[in-house]
Amino acid sequence: MDIICKRPRGTEDKLPKEIYKWRTVEKIAAQTAEVYGCKEIRTPTFEYTELFQRGVGSTTDVVQKEMYTFDDKKGRSITLKPEGTAGVVRAAIENGLFNDALPLKTYYFTRCFRYETPQSGRLREFNQFGVEVFGAASPSADAEVISLANDVINRLGVKNISLEINSIGCPACRAEYYKALKNYYEQYKDKLCDTCLERLDRNPMRLLDCKSEICSAFKENAPRILDYLCDDCKTHFDGVKARLDALDIKYTVNPLIVRGLDYYTNTVFEFISNDIGSQGAVCAGGRYNGLVEEIGGAPTAGLGFAMGLERIIMVMDSQSLDYEQDAKCDLYLATFDDETNIYAMKLAQRLRNDGFRVEFDTCGRSFKSQMKYANKLDAAYCMVIGSDEIASRSAKLKRMSDGEEVSVSLDDTLSEKLNMLMMNI
């Protein structure tokens, strides 16, 4: 097919007939975030590349291989955001949001762009719902953020999701752990994949995240970060677990969760579905106490999560869950000629201003095909506007489900009458 009519690999069209699913998920996610005191934030789709590629420390696939990066016309390097957190942190620093009362609690919906190998649940452009909270260092914040994600999942009715948590400590306790890890992996050096070899020096913890079969096998007996946590990190993690227990949120501790981005500290977590195959992580997040400083702000605690909306909807579909359906057409006005069509247009305008979903013919269709179309729209009511109706300022409202008709006046009382009828439908 001509490339003009082909969407780029790894992208999706969200069509009108399925938008109700997105609306449902977005509405419930936003409502849940708001009862937790979060406010929406919207940041640009692209940022200067430096925001994501901070210094030379980036060891993740996302930053090293997956970014959509290009020069703009002035030769500045621009990157389409691969994730939401960095943009929110940049915006908060730039707009002085950390100077207001803390914690700063934000949520957002964003498109993310990653040059990955497309497969089910893995796209090059995808949508995330995210929450980021700043200035809250206590374990209550970790539990609150996890609970928020958990509530979104529950309110959507999604079942069969497991929550896995871990602590990856702070830079201090991680230093010891890195030594132990390097030591351990030294014996397998000749068997490791190239990527792991490269990471062994810079960020050995990322070896635990390698998906290659050979490297994965070595994970089992690798030293566990939880054995290396300093007292503060251990206390923090215990505090998080105690609060999840108090909230009756079920979890398992999985010491192999290290997350795909470098900036996490302490708590990390993933919500995993068992229903959509290997791309089962529907939500992932954690604490990132060093990030604000790394981006150029004053040291500020931070934490959050991102939920993959395509994946959540895949799980919901696989479980045949209900969404809020799109509202249908309330009233179709069928007309015959210019005079009646213009009258219908004015009437539609009036009723639309009163909140009704009204349609009339804009295709120049015959009366018969207008009625066919009204059926196709699944309109609740239909009204024929002929010259007699205009003259008498009254018409018949026909309920499409059973053909029952009532006479109505076309004057100002029509909206009220329609309202009453719609309520009894």
The answer to the question of residue 182 lying near ligand ATP (CB under 6 A) is no
E strands, 155-228, in order:
161-167
Continuous H helices in 67-106: 85-94
Tokens matching residue 243:
């609060």
Which residue, 80 or 281, is less far from ligand ATP as judged by CB? 281
Name the token pair of 43: 């940041």
Shorter beta-carbon distance to ligand ATP: residue 32 or 128: 128
279 binds, options Mg ion, ligand ATP, none, Cβ within 5 to 8 A by partner type = ligand ATP
Q: Which does 282 bind (CB under 5 to 8 A by kind): Mg ion, ligand ATP, none?
A: ligand ATP
For Mg ion, the closer of residues 130 and 139 by Cβ is: 130
Considering only residues 292 through 331, tell me which ones interact with Mg ion, judged by CB under 5 A: none
Tell me: cis bond preceding 103? Omega within 30 of 0 counts.
Answer: yes
Please report whether residue 257 would count as binding ligand ATP according to CB under 6 A: no
Q: Residue type for 265, please?
A: T
- Per-residue binding string, ligand ATP, 48-87, x by CB under 6 A, is -----------------------------------x----
Cα–Cα–Cα angle for 34, 36, 37, rounded to 5 degrees: 65
Among positions 252-271, residues that touch Mg ion (CB under 5 A) are 260
**Residue 180 near residue 227, CB atoms below 8 Å:** no
Tokens of residue 92, six digits: 């908060």
Q: Closest CB to ligand ATP among 116 and 176?
A: 116
What is the side-by-side strand order in the sheet with 104-113?
Answer: 39-40, 104-113, 125-134, 302-308, 281-287, 265-273, 161-167, 252-253
Angle between helices 19-35 and 139-155 (to 10 degrees): 150
CB of 238 to ligand ATP, least distance (A): 25
Binding residue for ligand ATP, selected from 81, 90, 105, 114, defined by CB under 6 A: 114
Q: Which does 173 bind (CB under 5 to 8 A by kind): Mg ion, ligand ATP, none?
A: none
The secondary structure of 310-377 as a DSSP string is HHHHHHHHHTT---PPPP--SEEEE--SHHHHHHHHHHHHHHHHTT--EEE--S---HHHHHHHHHHH
Query: What is the nearest approach in angstroms of ligand ATP to the Cβ of residue 142?
Result: 16
* Count of residues that bind Mg ion according to CB under 5 A: 1
The sign of the CA dihedral 211, 12, 28, 301 is: positive
Least distance (Å) from ligand ATP to the CB of residue 111?
11
Residue number, 282 or 333, with CB nearest to Mg ion: 282
Per CB under 6 A, does 122 bind ligand ATP? yes
Q: Which does 311 bind (CB under 5 to 8 A by kind): ligand ATP, Mg ion, none?
A: ligand ATP
Instruction: Tally the residues of the chain.
Output: 425
Which position among 25, 196, 306, 344 is part of the footprint of ligand ATP (CB under 6 A)? 306
Q: Which two tokens stand for residue 214?
A: 């050979």
